Chains A and B, each alone.
Chain A
Amino acid sequence: MKTLSLRNLGKTYFDPYAGAHVTAVHDVSLDVQQGEFVSVVGPSGCGKTTILNMIAGFIPHSKGEILLDGTPVNGPGPERGVVFQSFALFPWKTVLDNVGFGPKMRGVPKAERDRIARDYLALAGLSHAANRYPNELSGGMQQRVGVVRALANEPAVLLMDEPFAAVDAQTRMTLQEELTRIWQDRKPTVLFITHDVGEAVFLANRVVVLSKGRILDEVAVDLPRPRVWDQLVDDDEFKRLSAQVLQMVRAA
């Protein structure tokens, strides 16, 4: 049973220009169960990216603990996959080699990792783009690659920081629908960060509201799956949950 646990997590930055300490994350405790999809929402500057970067191991935390299956995490590792807002695909690798990068790092032989990569590309409807370079793809396609590249490594938890913020609104809705479909198919554990309330509710089993470095409240989302925007825009429960979360965020 793989679970991610944050125990009284805190982060204080030192700002060399201001010559002062800034506490971005005060005290965050959160458990994410295996196979759960948790969204974290909150206003700009409330510490969302800081939390994700600490879990990913990109920056050290100042206090508390980050446990994966009871073991403290230390630095970045393949058991915590990351999907970046800026895609962060390797421009010098084909789509296939980008997706096969994680398996390659694990020492999976070429033929086998190509098979894994093709499998995941098919999942994202990208089989035709396997031999192209990232710069030859649209933003939406690039981020599909970003998502399956992280998934192909079969991480215990998938960390996503506003992954769809850089694509246009229509593409974003398609990507959100695809992500829920992929989630249902593979049941990865996901921590998804966004400031878009509709997106948070649409995707998650549970929405956590963050305010000034603390968890304000959380809301369970039991909407049926598969979730598609055409149905949910007019769904009363979706509207009620979104309004509830929005109210919390605005009060934050």
Chain B
Amino acid sequence: MRGAASLAGSAMFVAPLLALLAIWAIVVPLFEVNPRVFPSIGAVGGAALDSIRDGTLIAHIGASLLRVGLGTLIGIATAVPLGVAMGVSPTVAAFLTPLFRFFSVLAGIAWIPIATLWFGYGFGAIVFVIFNAVFFVVTYNTLLGVQTIPHTLRNAAWSLGAGRWAMLTEVLLPGALPNIVTGIRTGLGFAWRGLIAAEMIATNVGLGYMLFVARDFYRTEVIVFGMIVIGVLWLLIDRLILVRIERATIERWGMVRRA
């Protein structure tokens, strides 16, 4: 029953992508589009096979995922405690909220120039941009999450004997989780875009670099293939990791409506 439902869900998800592929397969040969403007499906498939065979694809993906993973982990590990600490004090929260809202909007790409000045061109600058994209958004959302926990829940925990530590681990963190997850999803979205942009400027390996170099040689088939990889990887991260976390926790607890 569940299997059938999730199969139907996957079909609904894949169908529009297949339609796009079909249009591509028809339109490019029909109008004899110049491959320097847009590649055929066959050429992109060829580029895909080449990059898989010579191992460059896996190197680019590995480099990009490592940067995203590291920056995101540092971002979450610092943002969640800070957001909770801010959330428990109304004064601190009121003072810092406008600041974090401001930086949430700036998160990611806008920091690339200054990050390269601070860390030089390379790993450090890129990880910083990702960390930054995740950090402000997750902090702000964690803060919001802690603030929206009904006060009666804190009172209930308190009158059942919870101390400060138990309040944090048993009430504030799980209570803020819906917002934390939203923050991570938004932040990772920023981070992913920031990653591609930063890799175009500040490195010599990674998916963004792959696009950037291909452009110099008019290799549209490599560019389009890279774009597809970037999109597919994002969807996989979102659906296989983030959506699953949501299902197992906040949806189960009835804290968000099932989409």
Task: Spell out A's residues near B (CB within 8 Å).
Answer: 56-58, 75-78, 80-82, 84, 86, 88-92, 101-102, 105-106, 133-136, 149-150, 153
Contacts and interface: CB of A to CB of B under 8 A. Distances in A.
B152 A105 contact: no
A77 B163 CA distance: 10
Interface stretch (B27-35, B40-48, B171-179): B171-179
B156 A77 contact: no
10 contacts: A56-B155, A76-B158, A76-B159, A86-B152, A88-B153, A89-B156, A91-B255, A92-B255, A102-B160, A134-B253
Contacts, number: 73
A101 B249 contact: no
Contacts of B159: 56-58, 76-78, 80-82
B175 A82 contact: no
For the residues of A in contact with B, the DSSP-based class is loop
Contacts of B163: 105
Interface string B194-230: 0000000000000000000000000000000000000
A90 to B, nearest CB: 7
Instruction: Find the residue from A58, A90, A92, A102 having the highest chain B CB count within 10 A.
Output: A92
Contacts of A102: 160-161
B161 A134 contact: no
B174 A90 contact: yes
B162 A58 contact: no
Contacts of B171: 90
Contacts of A135: 253-255
A78 B152 contact: no
A90 B153 CA distance: 7
Contacts of A133: 252-254
Closest 3 CB pairs of A and B: A135-B254, A78-B161, A105-B161
Nearest to B249: A92
B105 interface: no
B157 interface: yes
A150 B155 CA distance: 12
Given A84-B152, A90-B153, A105 B254 contact: no
Contacts of B153: 88, 90
A137 to B, nearest CB: 10
B50 interface: no
Contacts of B253: 91-92, 133-135
A147 to B, nearest CB: 13
Interface string B126-145: 00000000000000000000
A161 to B, nearest CB: 10
Contact of A82 (B155, B166, B177, B255): B155
A45 to B, nearest CB: 20
B16 interface: no
A76 B159 CA distance: 5
Contact of B160 (A57, A91, A105): A105
A88 B160 contact: no
Given A78-B160, A82-B156, A134 B254 contact: yes
A83 B156 CA distance: 8
A143 to B, nearest CB: 13
A31 B153 CA distance: 29
Contacts of B166: 105
A79 to B, nearest CB: 9
Interface string B225-259: 00000000000000000000000010011110000
B163 to A, nearest CB: 8
A128 B157 CA distance: 24
Interface string B147-189: 0001011011111111100100011001101000000000000
B222 to A, nearest CB: 47
A56 B252 CA distance: 31
A92 B161 contact: no
A75 B163 CA distance: 12
B73 to A, nearest CB: 23
A136 B152 contact: no
Contacts of A90: 153, 156-157, 170-171, 174
Nearest to B254: A135
